[in-house]
Homo-oligomer: A and B are copies of this chain.
């Protein structure tokens, strides 16, 4: 599990089915109804969603879809570039690759999850690059801590 590096400017078009199909076809792969259902579920989700949750939801809409199919599909769609995953406190979660353009600032006390702007993310990346030549992908792991409110509250 390892995503692409750095945050790119948002210039690509958002993925839709045509897009997904194209990426699959380019590799001689097929767009099955199961895959369609899985992509739909991830697209419908604002933000990120856990694999096991995708499995449950997809099975809700389309009984008979096997969990193993879901896991295999997620892996495949990530290889193809349609999906990406990030690590949150609760585990790995998937999202459309082109929705990866934000960094999670998750409060460990109240659970609030603020996004970091592109500009701020770039500033952080620049700072890391300057000292290590390391190209950070801040979207891949969340950043935890205490939000302003909770920090003020003391905890």
**Interface size on A (CB < 8 Å)?**
38
Q: Which residues of A1-45 have CB atoms within 8 Å of chain B's CB atoms?
A: 1-3, 5-6
Number of copies: 2
Task: Knowing A108-B3, A120-B127, A132-B116 are in contact, say whether A138-B143 is a contact too (CB < 8 A).
Answer: yes
* Interface residues, chain A, with chain B CB atoms under 8 Å away: 1-3, 5-6, 87, 89, 105, 107-109, 114, 116-117, 120, 123-124, 127-128, 131-138, 140-148, 151-152
What distance in Å separates the Cβ of A114 from its nearest Cβ neighbour in chain B?
6
- Residues on B with C-beta less than 8 A from A120 are 127-128, 131
Does B108 lie within 8 Å of A5, measured CB to CB? yes
- Residues on B with C-beta less than 8 A from A146 are 5-6, 134-135, 137
